[in-house]
Structure 1
Amino acid sequence: MDLGTRAPSTAVLLSRVGERIRSREALLVEEWEDITAWASNHVIAGPEGGATITEGYLDTGVPIAGAGAPLVSEFALMELIAVLGRSPDGGRAYVGRVIECAWRLPKVYAAVVAGRLAPWRAERIADLTRPLSAEAAAFVDRQLWDATGVGWAQLERLVTEAVLRFDPEKAEAERQTAADGRRFDVGEVDEHGLVHLDALMDAADGHDLNQADARRAETLAKLGDESSLDVRRSKAAAELARHDLALDLLIPDPDTGDVVDTVPGRKVVLNVHITNTTLTPANDRNRVGRWEEGRCPITSAQIREWLRARHTTIIVRPVIDLADHVPVGAYEIPDRHRTRVILRDHTCRFPHCTRPARACDVDHARPHADGGATCPCNLVPLCRRHHRAKTHSTWRYDTPTPATYVWTSPNGHRFRVDHRGTHPVRTDRTADPPDR
C-alpha cells in the first residue's frame, strides 16, 4: 500500500463490498433467467414412459420441483448441468430450485429478478416449499414477496404454518405419529453412581418440567446450596421425583384484576385475535395458533389438547386491535401496553435480531422527556444490547408507520425492519458521510 495515499474511509470500503455483492448477484440473476427460459423450451407433457434401468433410451419428463411445476426433459437436463459445471445430483437440485421459484413461487422469483432478494435465500425457500401442495406453496409465496430479511427459523415456521393451514389432516396425522414416539429413559448406573436421562416429551409438558426444575434449583440456591446451576438443576429434578408438582397459579378477579385465589396445575394465557371471520365455523380448518415459548405455529387441535390437561387454569385475553392508540401520561409502561407491543412485534426490532420481545426492554421511540407518548404506537421492543446501541451510539431509527422501523447505522447505511424481516434501504454510498 502506498502510505502517501489517503486510505479509503470505512464507509467507502463498506460501499465497495456491497457493490461487489450486488454485481455478483446480478450475474446470478441473469443465469436464473436463462435457466427459466431453457426450462420453458424443454417441457415434457407427462411422466409416461419413464427412463428406467431397462428402458433407459427414453427421454422422459423428470419432476425436479413441486406439484404444478413443469416436467423437463431428462436428457436436456443432463446437458444443462454439464454446462453449469455442477455434479449430476447437485445440478439437478439447483435447477429444480430455480424452476420451483419460477413456477410455484412467482413473487419470490420476481423479487430475485428485481434484485430485492438474494438468489441463495430464494434457493433455501425453494428447498422448504418443494414438498408442499400448490396451495400451501402459494401461501408461502404471498408471505415472502419481500423476504430480504427473513431468517431461517422464521421461514421454517412459515412453512409449518402453511402445512397446518392447507393440509391440516396430514399435519395432525404427523403430529399424532410423532407423539407416539414419546419416551422417558433412565440409563445404566456408571462407576460413579450416576445415570443419564433421555426423554422425548410433549412440548408443553417439557415446558412445565423445565419451569418446575428451574424454580426448585433457585430455591436450593436461596437455602445455601453453593453448587453450580447445572448441579442444582440435577438435584431439583431428583426432588421432583419425591414430591408432587404444584404450580402456584393466580386466579384474578374478572372485574378488579386482584388475585383472589391460587390453584395447582398448568397456567395457560390464551390471546385471542378476533377478526370478522374468527367465529365462522367454516374457517375452523385454517385456524392456526402461535406458541410464544416455542415461537412456532401450532394447530387448534394441539391447543385444545393442552387446554384439556388436568388442573389447567386458562386466562383468555381478547386482543381486538394491536394498533389501537391507548396512551397514558406516565413514563412507566403498563403491563397491558407491554403485552400489546410483544404480540405486535414478537422480537427485538434491531436489524436481523431475533431475540424474543418478551425478553427485551421496551423503548420510547420518541423520548418521553421530549414529549413522546407512553403508547404502543411509540413503544419498541429492543434487547438490552441493541437498546444500549441506540442510546449510547449513533444508531438511530424512525417509525414511519406502527411496527415499521427504519434504522440508520453510524456510517449512514439504512435498514427497514418490519414483520417481513430486515431489508436494506439502498442509497448512494460512494462518497464519505458528512462530518458530524
Structure 2
Amino acid sequence: MDLGTRSRSTAALLCGLRAEVEGRQASLVRDWATIAEWAGDHVVTGPEGAATITEGYLDTGVPIAGAGAPLVGEFALMELVAVLGRSPDGGKAYVGRVIECAWRLPNVYDAVATGRLEPWGAERIADLTHPLSADAASFVDRQLWNASGVGWAQLERLITEAILRFDPEQAETDRQKAADHGHFDISEVDDHGLVHLDALMDAADGHDLDLAVGRRADVLGRLGDESSLDVRRSKAAAELARQDLALDLLIPDPRPGRSSPPSREWLRTRHTTIIVRPVIDLADHVPVTAYEIPDRHKTRVALRDHTCRFPHCTRPSNRCDIDHHRPHAEGGATCPCNLVPLCRRHHRAKTHSAWRYDIVIPGSYVWISPSGFRFRVDHRGTHPIHDTSDTSDTSPPDQ
C-alpha cells in the first residue's frame, strides 16, 4: 500500500470513528431527555413523599437530586435503573445527576441538549451542586450559562462562593469538618535512612512553618552549606525540631507498633477463635417446617448465590435478607430451593410492589418488572430478555 492510499485509508477510519463518537454523544443526550421525561411522570407528591419508609409498603419518594428537584417513586426508579443496565446504586446516582441538571441547573441541561457540554461534564457539575441549597444551585447555574468554557478549578471556586453567599453556616461546618482531618505523619525509615513527611494543617500555620523553614534554609546557605535549596529546607526543619526545649524530657516512643511482644503460636493465643464447620453440599435440599430459616440454610443460599439476586445488584448475600420465593404462608417450603438472597431494598420491592421473579433452577432467576421487562439473573450476571421464547442456558456453573 503506497503512502497516498494509506493516508486515504487512515482518513476514512478516523471519519468513521468520529461518526461513532458523535453518535454515542447524541444517544446519551436522547437518554437524558427520556430520563427527564420519565422523572416528570413519576413524581411522588403525596404524604408518602417524605422520602421515609413510614409503613413499610409505600412506594416512597426518594431524594436523588438536590433541594427543589422532584422526589421520584422508589419502586419505579428500580425499574428504570434495571432497564438502563446499571447497578442499583450507580444507576440511582446517574439518574439523580440528570434530574439535578434538568430541574436545578437548566443552563447546564441546555448546554448538554445543544451539544455544547458533554454529559460527563454535566454529571461532574451535578455532583458538586447536589449538596447546595436551591438558591445556591441557581446562582451556580446562572454563572454557567456558557458551561463549556468553565474549568474544574474555576467551578470549585464558584461552588465555594455559592456556599459562602447562601449558606454561611454550612460553610463553617465544612471548614470545621475539614480541620478535623489535620495531621502530621512521619513514615518508617527507608533503606537509605530517610523518612517521608505528610501533613495537613491550618493555612496560617502552614504559612508560618514555610516562612520559618525558608529563613533557616537561607541562613544555612549563607553559612556555607552548598546543598540544594530543597535539601537545606529539610535540614532546616530538623533544626527547628531540635530547638524544642522539652525534647530531652520526652519518654520513650509510646506509639503502637514500635515494639512487639514475644510471638506465640496462633493456636495458643488467648483471643484466637477456631470454628469447625462440616463440608456443605450446595445441592442438598432438607426443608424444615418452621418459617424461621436455620443458619445452615442461610449459609447454603449465601454460598450458592453470592449476591442479592435482583437485576444488577451486587450487595453480598451474607448482608441480605433471605426471601421465601413462594411465601411460607402459602405453602412455600423453608428449603434452599425456595430461598433467595435479596437486599432489604429489593426485598421490599418484591414484597410490596409489582416486581416479581421466577426460579428457573436454584441459582438462576427470571425477574419481571412492573412494566413487563424481563431480566435473567444467574452466575453470569444480569441479562435482559428481549424475546419471550428465550431458551438460553440458565444452568449453574460446573461444580
Structure 2 length normalisation: TM-score? Answer: 0.52
Task: Return the offset for 1:163.
Answer: 0.6
CA distance in 2, matches of 1:60, 1:79: 14
Long gaps (5+) in structure 1? 245-436
Residue of structure 2 equivalent to 1:30: 30
Higher relative contact order at CA 8 Å, sep ≥6: structure 1 or structure 2? 1
Equivalent pairs counted in the alignment come to 244
Partner of 1:174: 174
Q: Secondary structure at the match of 2:5?
A: coil
C-alpha contact 2:51 2:63 (8 A) present in aligned 1 = no
Q: Specify the code of the residue in structure 2 equivalent to 1:213.
A: V
Do the aligned partners of 1:49 and 1:58 also contact (CA within 8 Å) in 2? no
Task: Map residues 21-420 of structure 1 onto 2, 5 A cutoff.
Answer: 21-46=21-46, 48=48, 55-176=55-176, 178-179=178-179, 182=182, 199-221=199-221, 223-241=223-241
Secondary structure in structure 2 of the residue aligned to 1:235: helix
C-alpha displacement of 1:208: 3.2
Q: What CA distance in whole angstroms lies between the structure 1 residues aligned with 2:98 and 2:126?
A: 8
More helix by share: 2
Contact 2:136 2:163 in 1 (8 A): yes
Deviation at 1:220, TM superposition (A): 3.4
Label 1:101 to 1:52 Cα distance change in 2 as closer, same or farther (>3 A). closer
**Which structure has the larger Rg over C-alpha atoms?**
2
| Structure 2 residue identity aligned to 1:7 | S
CA displacement at 1:3 relative to structure 2: 5.6
CA distance in 2, matches of 1:38, 1:185: 50
SS at match of 1:126: helix
> How much does 1:198 deviate?
5.2
Secondary structure at 2:58 match in 1: coil
Q: Distance in 2 between matches of 1:102 and 1:194?
A: 54
Structure 1 equivalent of residue 338 of structure 2: none
- Shift >6 Å, 4+ stretches: 9-16, 49-54, 185-196
C-alpha separation in 1, matches of 2:214 and 2:202: 18
1:290-313, Cα deviation, whole Å (9 max, x unpaired): xxxxxxxxxxxxxxxxxxxxxxxx
1: distance between equivalents of 2:47 and 2:199? Answer: 45
What residue in structure 2 maps to residue 429 of structure 1?
Answer: none
Specify the SS of the correspondent of 1:148.
Answer: helix
Deviation string for 1:269-290 (max 9, x for gaps)?
xxxxxxxxxxxxxxxxxxxxxx
Contact in 1 for aligned 2:140/2:159 (Cα 8 Å): yes
How far apart are the structure 1 equivalents of 2:191 and 2:80? 61
**Cα shift at 1:214:** 3.4
* Alpha-carbon separation, structure 2, partners of 1:14 and 1:91: 32
Q: CA deviation at 1:55?
A: 4.4
Unpaired runs of at least 5, structure 2: 245-399
The amino acid of 2:231's aligned partner reads: V
Shift of 1:8: 4.0
CA RMSD in angstroms, aligned pairs only: 3.6
